[in-house]
Structures are given as C-alpha cells and as structure tokens.
C-alpha cells in the first residue's frame, strides 16, 4: 500500500531521458523489466496494449515512440502512477484498471505485450497484496499467461503480434505449444541470462518439480536463469 505519510519519500527512476515515479506498492524496475522493454520496440502509429504495466516504463516509452498505448494493471496504484508518469513525460497513455483482457473487451491491437507475474507459487503461498500481484503466477507460473495467450488472437489485428517474457524454467517448448494452440506462430525474439531471482531461491524445491525441460542445474543452487521473450504472430 502506498503510504500517505509526508515523510514517506518517493522513489524516482530515470531511464532513456525520462523520469518515472515509482510509489510504494508498485514494483520497481528489475532486470526483467528492462529486458522486456528493450525488445518491445513499439512502432509509431501502432496500437499497443500492455497488460500488467506496473509503473508504466514500457507503456510511456512506447507512447514516446509514437504508439497509441493502452496500459492495464490490476493494482489501482499502478494505474494511477502510469497516468502520472505519462503526464510527467509529455505523452498520453490510456491507463485502465482490470484483470487481463477485461478492460479492453472488444478492442484489437497491433501489439499485445506483457511481462507478467510468472513466479511459480507453492500451494498456500498465494497472497492478494500488490507485491504478490507483481510476482505470483499461480502454481505452475502460467496462471495469468495462459489467459493472455489464449485471448490474444481475438484481440490482435491481422498480422499483429503477442510478446511475453518467461523464465526458462517455465519451458520454451511449453510456451511454443501454448502459442500454437492459440492460433499464433511462435518464435523466440530474444534471450538473456539474468541473476536467479531471490524469490526463486525461496521456492526452488517447487520450481524444480516444474522444470520439465531441465533448465536448472541438477545439484547446487542456480546462479542464473534464462529469460526469453516469446513472440506469437497472428495470421495476416
Ligand atoms: C512482473 S510485474 C511487471 C511490471 C512492468 N510491466 C515491468 O515490466 O516492470 C507484473 C505486473 O502485472 C500486474 N498484474 C498482476 N496480475 C495481473 C492481471 N491479472 N491483469 C493485469 N495485470 C496484472 C501486477 O500488478 C504488476 O504490475
């Protein structure tokens, strides 16, 4: 929860010539945020949807590049700060509160992108606070992503693209199968090795049970994790 105390302070993040407010309760930028942002590459004039936009880094920079951006989040504080960060940086972002595709029913986009919560969450460890909303991806990590992928085709223009990040242990082959099943052509747009997330260490035993594609070392603690940007392209 954002604090209203006058002495609470405010985190500011400077990136690519822009300044962003990052209030308490909204996830600060992580390696995954920058990896995601670098590979979104929104084109001028494109209609872009970002699901789970956090404090609006990618959404605002896509708007700066000339895209028409709708940014959503389930956390009300996030949506408020996306609006503020858009104003702060002289652009317009249509920021809406809601789950997955609920805020954009009936609309279509050239690009749908998300760096969603995807940390596998052991049974009984789910919570409903904003920090958990940024990390927890259900038991297998795919809870939100499954809905994003399944709903993409009906919200993409012909030839449009879905972009989403995954941790390597969620499975590249699994991701391709899900994207194909949703009627999109899958590919890997980019990969990057990142430090293994702290919360991942806390959940390592659970994550190992899900690592069907054998991405984690068998013994010892993993030092890094592969991050992938998966692309699904709709038929033209
Ligand atoms: C991993 S954070 C990413 C934030 C930002 N896009 C970035 O890359 O830094 C995931 C975001 O998704 C939001 N979120 C969680 N569940 C969601 C849902 N069902 N629908 C929309 N947004 C959701 C969280 O509140 C959080 O801001």
Q: How confident is the model at residue 219 (pLDDT cuts 50, 70, 90)?
A: confident
How far apart CA 231 and CA 165 sit, in angstroms, is 9
For the chain, domains (ranges, CATH) are: 30-233 (3.40.50.150)
**Which residues contact ligand 1 via a Cβ below 6 A?**
27, 29, 33, 36, 51-54, 57-58, 72-75, 78, 99-100, 115-117, 133-134, 144
Arithmetic mean of pLDDT, 48-69: 98
Q: pTM, whole model, 2 decimals?
A: 0.96
How high is the pLDDT of residue 126? 80
The vertex-18 CA angle with 14 and 1, nearest 5°, equals 60
Q: Is the pLDDT of residue 224 over 70?
A: yes
| In contact, 81 and 105? CB cutoff 8 Å | no
């Amino acid at each position: 929860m954002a604090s209203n105390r006058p002495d609470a302070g405010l985190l500011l993040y400077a990136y690519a010539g822009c300044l962003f407010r990052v209030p308490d309760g909204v996830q600060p930028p992580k390696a995954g945020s920058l990896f995601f942002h670098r590979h979104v590459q929104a084109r001028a004039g494109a209609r872009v949807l970002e699901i789970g936009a956090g404090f609006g880094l990618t959404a605002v920079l896509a708007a700066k590049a000339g895209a028409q951006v709708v940014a959503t989040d389930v956390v009300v504080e996030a949506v408020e700060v996306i609006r503020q960060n858009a104003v702060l940086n002289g652009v317009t972002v249509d920021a809406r509160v809601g789950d997955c595709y609920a805020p954009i029913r009936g609309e279509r986009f050239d690009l749908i992108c998300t760096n969603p919560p995807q940390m596998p969450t052991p049974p009984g460890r789910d919570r409903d606070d904003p920090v958990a909303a940024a990390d927890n991806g259900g038991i297998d990590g795919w809870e939100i992503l499954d809905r994003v992928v399944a709903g993409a085709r009906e919200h993409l223009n012909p030839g449009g693209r879905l972009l989403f990040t995954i941790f390597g242990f969620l499975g590249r082959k699994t991701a391709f199968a899900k994207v194909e099943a949703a009627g999109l052509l899958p590919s890997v747009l980019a990969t990057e090795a990142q430090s293994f997330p702290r919360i991942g260490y806390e959940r390592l035993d659970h994550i190992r049970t899900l690592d069907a594609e054998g991405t984690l070392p068998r013994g010892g603690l993993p030092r890094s994790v592969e991050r992938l940007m998966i692309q699904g392209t709709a038929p033209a």
